[in-house]
Amino acid sequence: MSAMKISDGVEWAAHACALLALLPEGVALNAAALAEFHTLPQAYMAKHMQALARAGVVTSVRGARGGYRLARPPSEVTMLDIRIAIEGPGPDFHCREIRRNGPCASRKTGGAPCTIAAAFWAAETAYRTQLQTVTVADIVADLARGMDEDRLERFRAWLGKVL
């Protein structure tokens, strides 16, 4: 079974939002620290964080202790919010109407989409509906269930180093 093709930026932004959800109230992390945590390119992380800020998913905080923090409670930020912030609101599938090409081209104009386009659009609707049901709070809760004391201590040590 092959996986859906989702851009690296969406994945990185989702991980960044989960990390921000773990921060104490009023604390922010800069893009360099967010990139360092998962060993990602800082310039690309900064670009994705700016997109999240433009979309209202995160807030940018200025100053020496500046950086990013979630703009809303983690229970109000969905995976769809993150996907849209990074990829834009448009659909992933774009019908090119190629059924109108070739020796057996359909001469119909207007009307219903072809069954291929309808299938992809139905799948996209299901995909977006599912992403809308999963929040950053859900992700963090799942992470917490798998967190042993050693990993928790390493996280605390890392956070103490970057703050």
Predicted confidence (pLDDT) per residue in 84-100, tens digit: 999 999 988 888 888 77
Count of residues making up the chain: 163
CA 114 to chain centre: 30
- Position 4 scores a pLDDT of 61
What's the domain range around 31? 8-92+135-162
> Does 120 fall in a domain?
no
- Position 98 scores a pLDDT of 81
CA 107 to chain centre: 40
CA distances from 151 to 16, 40, 123, 155, 162 (A): 17, 20, 37, 6, 17
> What confidence category does residue 112 fall into, taking pLDDT thresholds of 50, 70 and 90?
confident
> Does 51 fall in a domain?
yes
> Does 110 fall in a domain?
no
Q: pTM of the prediction?
A: 0.88
Predicted confidence (pLDDT) per residue in 40-92, tens digit: 999 999 999 999 999 999 999 998 888 999 999 999 999 999 999 999 999 88
Domain count, the chain: 1
> Does 70 fall in a domain?
yes
Mean pLDDT, to the nearest integer, of 138-151? 92
Q: Does residue 3 register a pLDDT over 60?
A: no
> Does 79 fall in a domain?
yes
CATH number at residue 82: 1.10.10.10
> Does 148 fall in a domain?
yes
HEC secondary structure over 42-61: HHHHHHHHHHHHHCCCEEEE
CA distances from 43 to 58, 92, 139 (A): 17, 25, 25
Instruction: Say which range, 42-56, 106-120, 124-138, 145-159, has the weakest mean pLDDT.
Output: 106-120
Predicted confidence (pLDDT) per residue in 12-38, tens digit: 999 999 999 999 988 999 999 999 999
- Position 110 scores a pLDDT of 65
> Does 25 fall in a domain?
yes
- Position 136 scores a pLDDT of 98
